[in-house]
Amino acid sequence: MAGVQAEVAPQTLPLPGRDPRSTSNAIYHPDGVRVLLRLAKKYSVPLLFVTNNICNQLLKFQDAGEVLEQLLGLREGEGDLLRRISDTWFGMPHLKGKCVPFDWVAFAAMLLYDRAPTTMRVVQQELWVGRNDPSVLVLRDTSNQQQNDVVTKNLEGTELYGVVSSVSYVDHAEMLALAKYAVATHSKTTSVSK
């Protein structure tokens, strides 16, 4: 999972030293991002992106309890360890109604890609990378090249990398079914020993 859509204002709050267009995992390894992109281009390795914007559209929950119930199929009293993790991660008051398991959406997309193509849609988009900060990854719709203030601001300080594949849709039911399958097949690892 990486990047933001050029056509949408970033949803991440700007913090000192962190561009709101930045990808969290890339912030800590900017040189790694440069190397990855350089090698992908050199060896023609296709890249698949799942942007924050798409994750927000595809799978969002009200609170930690709903994450456990809907995503993992756990009821009250089940999944001790997962419940603790979910409460810690999604239990913050400012996340009410905005609980998005970004990593699960990205994982499901990667798992389904080329295995179950009817469960998802992938489009080609331009990838723009921050000149000085490669954690800034902006994807632009190739079918709509209109320039407006949001696009201009999002592309500021970036350079065109090339065209990449970007997930635009993953079937909601499939993502939930994959999560429930993972819990069912690994249930012994979901509770804490007493």
pTM metric for this prediction: 0.82
Going by pLDDT thresholds of 50, 70 and 90, the confidence category of residue 124 is very high
Show the tokens assigned to 18.
Answer: 């962190």
Instruction: Say if residues 191 and 80 touch (Cβ distance below 8 Å).
Output: yes
User: How many whole angstroms separate alpha carbon 187 and alpha carbon 191?
Assistant: 8
User: Picking from 31-35, 79-83, 117-121, 178-182, which range would have the lowest pLDDT averaged per residue?
Assistant: 79-83
Residues 6+ apart with CB under 8 A from 36: none
User: How many whole angstroms separate alpha carbon 94 and alpha carbon 97?
Assistant: 9
Instruction: Say if residues 65 and 104 touch (Cβ distance below 8 Å).
Output: no
Better-predicted residue by pLDDT, 5 or 14: 5
Calculate mean pLDDT across residues 130-159: 93
Burial of 147 (0-12, 13-18, 19+ CB in 10 A): exposed
Question: Is residue 186 pLDDT above 80, yes or no?
Answer: no
Calculate mean pLDDT across residues 146-159: 95
User: How many whole angstroms separate alpha carbon 27 and alpha carbon 117?
Assistant: 31
Going by pLDDT thresholds of 50, 70 and 90, the confidence category of residue 188 is low
Residue 190: what pLDDT?
A: 44
SS3 state at 181: helix
Q: Which residues pair with 22 in a beta bridge?
A: 136
Most confident range (mean pLDDT) of 33-47, 51-65, 99-113, 176-190 is 33-47
Please report, for the chain, the start and end positions of each structural domain, with discontinuous segments joined by +. 4-57+120-173
pLDDT digits (tens, 9 = 90+) for 62-116: 888 888 888 777 777 777 777 788 888 777 777 777 778 888 888 899 999 999 9
Show the tokens assigned to 132.
Answer: 């000085």
According to DSSP, the β-strands at 48-49 and 137-141 are unpaired
Residue 78: what pLDDT?
A: 73
Which letter does DSSP use for residue 55 in this model? H
Q: Summarize the chain as % helix, strand, coil (round to 5).
A: 45, 20, 35
SS3 state at 70: helix
Instruction: Say if residues 34 and 142 touch (Cβ distance below 8 Å).
Output: no
